[in-house]
Amino acid sequence: MRATASLRRFHSTSSLVHTHLPALTPYSSAEALQESLRAQHLLFKSQSSSSSSSPKPPPPFLISFESTPIYTFGRQQQQQQQQQQQQQHKDAAPLTQPLPVLLTTRDPPLRHTFVPDVAHTQRGGLTTYHGPGQLVLWPVLDIHSPAYPRFTVASYAGFLEATTQRLLRDVFAIETFVSPDEPGVWVRQKPRSESQPHPHPHPHPHPHPQSGSQSQSQSQSQPPTTAQTEANPPPSKIAALGVHHRRYVTALGTAINIDVPTTGPPASNPWARFVPCGIEGKGVTSVAREIGPAAPHALFDLQDLAARWAALFEEGLFDESKRGGR
């Protein structure tokens, strides 16, 4: 018999501690902060298992930030030791070409040309991209902590996806789905003949009306090449998922495409320089693209969106009935 929601609510003093890093943050800086926070949890677990006393556990943490451009490789690529150096050299050449970024859905607008970095990470999967216009959210917590209902590795991944789905639905009226075979949050694309303008996103405070800003292109990141593909367009990923566990303490998390460019040639579209996560035949999309005609009149506040995601995450962290997911 399932317990009631009230019985599944854990009353804990360990509230979520959310840190949003200002401006554009180098991936390596966010990673260093993440590891320092994870070290606190790992140290506590070591001390509590070897001591009769009960030291106070660290709280669950959340880091949110917008990264400077970087392409990251997953563990699958690291495991191919002999091929790695040769392949990294081949891959890095097009990936690290200068990347002009123009985001007019900001106040002030972001205009800058970057040289993307390339790095290896602890997550699974293959190559992905992080950069301006993408909100990265990294919870650092012990999924087996007694402070809240315990997660499994799979249920935690599902919780990250479900939290992201709730944010996209509640704020922007974007309907999404998840797949057990392909982690992340996806949007079903309609055939061109059936495409209709997306309803206006959630009312103020975000996005805000703005006049005179430029519209992002609404074409596919990887345009259909056959009539069959046009009639049955593949789904597009709007949020990536990648988690690493060490003694059940988490690192990495999810990255939501807000107004990052997802269309155009490789010179200006970072996703066109590689096959995202090694998944052939699938597209990449963003909030700006999905809200359609509303995009030219929107201003995106990533710090506000991070705070909204954090509130949903904390709610489900302590109340199992509000987790959703797998």
Task: Cite the active site residues.
Answer: 277
DSSP state of 97: S
The C-alpha atoms of residue 151 and residue 165 are separated, in whole angstroms, by: 19
E strand or H helix at 137: strand 134-140
253 among the known binding-site residues? Answer: yes
Question: Buried (b) or exposed (e) across 91-119, using 16+ Cβ within 10 A?
Answer: beeebbeebebbbbbbeeebeeebebbee
125 among the known binding-site residues? Answer: yes
124 among the known binding-site residues? Answer: yes
In the chain, DSSP finds a helix count (H) and a strand count (E) of 8, 12
240 among the known binding-site residues? Answer: yes
248 among the known binding-site residues? Answer: no
123 among the known binding-site residues? Answer: yes
127 among the known binding-site residues? Answer: yes
* 297: nearest Cα among 210, 218, 226: 210
* Phi, psi dihedral angles at 300 (to 5 degrees): -100, 130
DSSP state of 297: G
325 among the known binding-site residues? Answer: no
Two structure tokens written together for 82? 């002999």
Burial class (CB in 10 A: 0-12, 13-18, 19+), 17: middle
Contacts for 144 with CB less than 8 Å, ≥ 6 apart: 150, 151, 248
129 among the known binding-site residues? Answer: yes
Q: Looking at 72-172, list the stretches that DSSP marks H as alpha helix, in order from N- to C-terminal side.
A: 75-78, 81-95, 153-172
254 among the known binding-site residues? Answer: yes
For the chain, give the number of residues.
Answer: 326
E strand or H helix at 259: none
E strand or H helix at 258: none
Q: Which parts are annotated binding residues for substrate? A: 123-130, 240-242, 253-255
Binding-site members are 123-130, 240-242, 253-255
